[in-house]
Amino acid sequence: MASPREEQDNPYRHVVTPRSLRALRHEEGLLFPLSYEETTALVRAALDEDGAFDDVTTIATVRSDRRAHATLVARQPGVVCGVMLAIEASRQLDESVNVRVDAEDGSRVGGATPVLFLTGKARALLSDERVALNFMQRLSGIATLTRQYVDAIAGTRAKILDTRKTTPGWRRLEKYAVRAGGGTNHRMNLSSCVLIKDNHLAAVEGDVAVAIQRSREHAAPGVKVEVECDRVEQVERALAAGADIILIDNMSLDDMRACVKLVGGRAKIEASGGVTRDRVRAIAETGVDWISVGALTHSAPALDLALDFEP
């Protein structure tokens, strides 16, 4: 258990007892997206896939009564995400494992920074290592990349949004990682809001007014209607037809500024397409409200994490 002085110096440092995943503190709005049952099932499937309950190397070389201490360490600066899953991986192989959390989801860490301290059965810590790291490296990579984009537009009015370009089955986790990095979630799935794209317009002979009218008739009250536009004149038509959000896709910076002036605050403007870290600041400075970045979830590099065992 951390000393009172340590708790004062680092409010994130505390002990998680077995099965008490919900004991972790969270910043407002950053709640782990899976239920306890979903978390258990997901981690169990990953452990089964890896053969963690029949780890022939560890069973052959490590005595069953041997205990060990290990530290999960960030080897490069970044934003931590996936702590719940790492704890659950350890717990499923050793219900008596003790875990001390030094960096919760959403915490920025430097290189060579401890994230978790674990004490328990040596066999369990060795056998769950890869699953715990796989979860955390992927999600921490997304959180880290998101934070880099968020930092790049600091001081502007814009927000960084994710997209639906997520790993199948992992959408809630990956969008949670975006929030851990300071980003904002766009629509969770196709049923959560209306987004009329060029292929939808082709089905109504390009008549955006008809597309919006039909969308409002079908969608639940209060659901926002967004229209994708790739030319300034399309923005004018979408605005006249009553779009709540206008998605300007792959436009030049000059055209983005023209769209912001044309809309004049009557609808939200989302910019997408060709968004890179080098260009995102300039896009934000055009005055758009949102910037959606598919790379947050489809191209984030894993954060370098490792589990180091004490001799």
Summarised one tens digit per residue, pLDDT across range 115-127 is 999 999 999 999 9
**266, 304: one domain:** no
Examine the residue annotation and report whether 121 is marked as an active-site residue of this protein: no
If asked whether residues 255 and 156 sit together in one domain, one would say yes
140 and 189 co-located in one domain = no
Which residue among the candidates 44, 75, 100, 130 is catalytic per the annotation?
130
Q: What is the pLDDT of residue 199?
A: 86
DSSP state of 97: -
Instruction: Determine whether 228 is an active site residue.
Output: yes
> Residue 2: its pLDDT value, please?
39
* 137 and 171 belong to one structural domain: no
130 is catalytic: yes
Q: Which of 100, 164, 165, 172 is labelled catalytic?
A: 165
Q: Indicate whether 187 and 254 sit together in one domain.
A: yes
Q: Which of 88, 94, 129, 228 is labelled catalytic?
A: 228
User: Is residue 196 located within the same domain as residue 282?
Assistant: yes
Domains contained in the chain, number: 2
Q: Which residue ranges of the chain lie beneath pLDDT 70?
A: 1-29
Same domain (yes/no): 243, 256: yes
Instruction: Please report the pLDDT score of residue 33 as a whole number.
Output: 92
pLDDT given for residue 14 in this prediction: 62
Question: How far is it, in rounded angstroms, from Cα 139 to Cα 120?
Answer: 25
The CATH number of residue 70's host domain is: 3.90.1170.20
> What does the pLDDT look like over 203-249, one tens digit per residue?
888 888 888 988 988 888 888 999 999 999 999 999 999 999 999 99
* 25 & 139 share domain: yes
- Cβ(123)–Cβ(55) below 8 Å: yes
User: Are both 128 and 8 inside the same structural domain?
Assistant: yes
The pLDDT assigned to 7 comes to 40
pLDDT at position 209 is 86
- Our answer to whether residue 138 is catalytic in this structure is no
Active site includes 281? no
Query: What is the CATH classification number for the domain harbouring 217?
Result: 3.20.20.70
Domain of 291, in residue numbers: 152-298
Q: Report how far residue 264's alpha carbon sits from residue 259's, in angstroms, rounded to the nearest whole number.
A: 8
Nearest in space to 47 (alpha carbons), one of 142, 124, 140: 124
Check whether residue 288 and residue 176 sit in a common domain: yes
Q: Which of 67, 164, 197, 214 is catalytic?
A: 197
Catalytic residue among 230, 244, 249, 285: 249
Instruction: For residues 158 and 275, state if they share a domain.
Output: yes
Chain CA centroid to CA 15, Å: 25
Angle ∠(78,83,85) on CA atoms, nearest 5: 130
CA distances from 180 to 30, 70, 308 (A): 7, 25, 25
What's residue 276's pLDDT? 96
Q: Do 124 and 190 belong to one domain?
A: no
Q: Which of 235, 196, 233 is nearest to 213 (CA)?
A: 196
Q: How far is CA 70 from CA 1, 111, 196, 204, 294, in A?
A: 15, 17, 51, 61, 35
